[in-house]
Structure 1
C-alpha cells in the first residue's frame, strides 16, 4: 500500500498537519486577515459581510493550494515512471515533512531557505493582489485569496512535496485541499477566542507535540518503503 495515496489516513493526516501548523499560519496570514477586516469601510463592516469576506479569502487560498497540488502531482506522474524514482519522491516527501515539523517546533528554521525560492514568483504576483484592495465584495476576496495562496511558505512547500509523491493529480489536489481546510480554524477565529487560540498554538509544548506527531508520521512513511515492507508478496 502506498502511504501517500488518497485513502483516509493521508487525507486526515494532511488536515491534522494544517491544524498543527496553525502557529505559522497565524504568523504568515493572520496579519493579512486583520488587514482585510480593517480595510473595509466602517459603514460596510457588518459581521455578516466580514464573515463572507474571510470565507471568500480562504476559499481562494485553498483553491490555489489545490491547483498547486494538482500541478506538482502531474509533474510527479512524469518523473515517477521509473519505480526507483517514485520511491525517491516518497523519501523526499517524508524528509520535507520532518523539516516542516522542525520548523513548527522552532527547533530548526531551514525551511526559510526553501521559502526564499518562492519569492521570485511572488514578486510578480503581489502587484495583482494589491490591485484588489480594499476588498469589499466576496468575489474580490476569493481573487485575493487565490493570489495570496502562492505566498512563499515552507509548510505549503512541504505539503507540495508530499503531493508530488502521490504522482496523481487528483490525489495531489485533494491532499492540498485537506491541508488548507486544516489551516482554517487558526485564520477564521476572531476576538478573544483568537488570542486564546493563538496563545495555545504558540505554546512550546503544543508546538513540540505537533512536531513529534508529524515526525512519527514521516518515519512511518519511510518504514513502509523498507524492503521488508514487500515481504510476503
Structure 2
C-alpha cells in the first residue's frame, strides 16, 4: 500500500505541535513525572498522581518515557477513532452525491481550513479557535470520567487518560478531521488522523520528558509564527493544485487531498 498521502497530515501535526504543548503539554509533563503521591491540578481537570512503586528497578527516565508514550498512544488512538467515525459518516453523503463538483468543493474547503489553521497557529487570526466550541457538549460528558481513573501510577491508566483527553475540543484536531473526511473510507480516515497524531508525538514526548523546561522555548513567538506559516503554505499549495490543476509528484505528496 502506498502511504505517501500520509506525509501531509503527519507534517501538519509536526508543525502544529507547538500548539499541542499549550493545550496538553502541561498535563503530559506532570503525569510523566514520578513524584510523591499528590494531587496535580492541571487544566481543565484535577488529576491524582501516584509516586513510583517502592523498589522499582526501572530507571526514572524509563518510567517517564513509558508513561508519556502510554498517554500519547491513547490520545492518538482517539484521533484515529474520530477519523474513522468522520470517514464513515461522510461516506454515506458521498454515495448520495458522487459528483466531481462535490468532491472539488470539499477539497477546497479542507485546504481553506488548513490556511485558517496555519494563521491560528501563527497567532495571526483566531477564527479556527471558534470551532472548538462545537465539541464542548461532548467534552462536558467525557470530562467527568477523567476524575474516575484513579492515581496515575500505571501506564494502562495513562493510556485511558490519553484516550479521554483526545476528545478535548481542539481547533487543530477539528481542522484535520475535515481533511480525514476526504480520505475515501473509514480506514483511510483513521490512518489520516493517526498520522497527524504521530506528527505531534515528538514534541509532546519531549515535553513529557523535559517537564516545564521545554515549554518556554516552544511557545516563542518566532517558532509559532514559522510553524503556522508553513501550515498555511500547505493549504495555499493545495488550493493552487485544486484550481490550477498542478499534478506534480512532490506537490501530490505534501498537499491535502481526497482519496485517489
What's the C-alpha RMSD, in Å, of the aligned pairs? 2.3
Q: Which residue in the other structure is 1:3 paired with?
A: none
Could you tell me whether the CA contact under 8 Å between 1:57 and 1:145 is conserved in 2?
yes
- State the Cα distance separating 1:170 from its structure 2 match: 1.6
Note if 1:13 corresponds to 2:32: no
- For residues 156 and 28 of structure 2, the distance between their equivalents in structure 1, rounded to whole angstroms, comes to 16
Spell out structure 1 runs of 4+ moving beyond 6 A: none
- For residues 93 and 190 of structure 1, the distance between their equivalents in structure 2, rounded to whole angstroms, comes to 30
**Matches of residues 13-162 of structure 1 in structure 2 within 5 Å?**
13-36=8-31, 37=33, 39-44=48-53, 46-81=60-95, 82-83=98-99, 84-162=101-179
- State the Cα distance separating 1:203 from its structure 2 match: 2.5
Note if 1:175 corresponds to 2:184: no
Please, what TM-score do these two structures have when normalized by structure 2?
0.78
Q: Deviations over 1:106-164 (max 9, x none)?
A: 00111221001111100000111211132111211111111110000000001101001
- For residues 186 and 54 of structure 1, the distance between their equivalents in structure 2, rounded to whole angstroms, comes to 11
Could you tell me whether the CA contact under 8 Å between 1:116 and 1:152 is conserved in 2?
yes
- State the Cα distance separating 1:104 from its structure 2 match: 0.5
Q: What is the DSSP-based 3-state SS (H/G/I as helix, E as strand, rest coil) of the residue aligned with 2:182?
A: helix
Could you tell me whether the CA contact under 8 Å between 1:15 and 1:180 is conserved in 2?
yes
Could you tell me whether the CA contact under 8 Å between 2:15 and 2:227 is conserved in 1?
yes
Call closer, same or farther: CA 1:134–1:78 in 2, change over 3 Å: same
Unaligned runs of 5+ in 2: 36-47, 248-260
- State the Cα distance separating 1:13 from its structure 2 match: 1.9
Higher helix share: 1
- For residues 188 and 110 of structure 1, the distance between their equivalents in structure 2, rounded to whole angstroms, comes to 28
Question: Aligned residues, how many?
Answer: 224
